[in-house]
């Protein structure tokens, strides 16, 4: 199975989760979204994730505000390319149905009820479905505060979710063939 993980990250939490998922699923590549533009090929599984900002998928403005606030406050743990275009919203908008056979979506969000914190995974999944890609799973991974760190055990949970995706994909392929 060929799996690719594409992510957007501002403070590094989503990158860490993406790398752990990639380890679990045995991904052939784990790429920040700004390096995924123009990528060729159709993987069996495309795993896409980003941070939750303003209750959903980050926007160009919300990324710039987050970077500006962190820089102004003297924090230096920003991801390289945090504001580099395209962002995840643009990349998903330009995605072709030939980008993957199946997909999964994930986000990082505050450790609060989704009613309070929101979540980006749902918006990612909707955009993937809109272009005709079969979304087999979504998941949220929790951060302790807006900029992190990740809650204890989240990287292990991300690795396990990646392994679960790898096991689930052959079953979903069989179901599609039988239908």
Neighbours of 75 (CB within 10 A): 12
Rounded distance between C-alpha atoms, residue 30 and residue 28, angstroms: 7
**CA-angle at 64, arms to 62 and 67, nearest 5°:** 110
Residue 52 CA to residue 108 CA, distance in Å, equals: 6
Q: Which two tokens stand for residue 161?
A: 């979710």
Q: Is 17 helix (H, G, I), strand (E, B) or coil?
A: helix
End-to-end distance of the chain based on CA atoms, in angstroms?
21
178 has pLDDT over 90: no
Q: Map out the domains of the chain with their CATH numbers.
A: 3-178 (3.40.50.360)
Dump pLDDT digits (tens) for 112-139.
887 888 899 999 999 999 999 999 999 9
Q: Identify whether the C-beta of residue 24 lies closer than 8 Å to the C-beta of residue 47.
A: no
pLDDT over 80 (residue 101):
yes
């Amino acid at each position: 199975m060929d799996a690719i993980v594409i992510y957007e990250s501002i403070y590094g939490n989503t990158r860490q989760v993406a790398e752990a998922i990639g380890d679990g699923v045995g991904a052939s590549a784990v790429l920040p979204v700004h390096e995924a533009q123009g990528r060729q090929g159709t993987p069996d599984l495309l795993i896409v994730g980003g941070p939750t900002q303003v209750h959903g998928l980050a926007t160009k403005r919300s990324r710039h505000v987050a970077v500006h606030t962190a820089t102004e406050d003297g924090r230096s743990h920003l991801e390289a390319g945090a504001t580099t275009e395209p962002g995840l919203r643009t990349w998903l908008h330009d995605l072709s149905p030939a980008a993957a056979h199946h997909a999964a979506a994930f986000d990082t969000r505050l450790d609060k009820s989704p009613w309070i914190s929101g979540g980006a995974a749902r918006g990612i999944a909707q955009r993937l479905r809109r272009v005709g890609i079969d979304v087999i799973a979504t998941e949220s991974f929790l951060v302790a505060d807006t900029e992190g760190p990740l809650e204890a055990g989240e990287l292990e949970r991300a690795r396990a979710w990646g392994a679960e995706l790898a096991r689930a994909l052959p079953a979903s392929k069989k179901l599609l063939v039988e239908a």
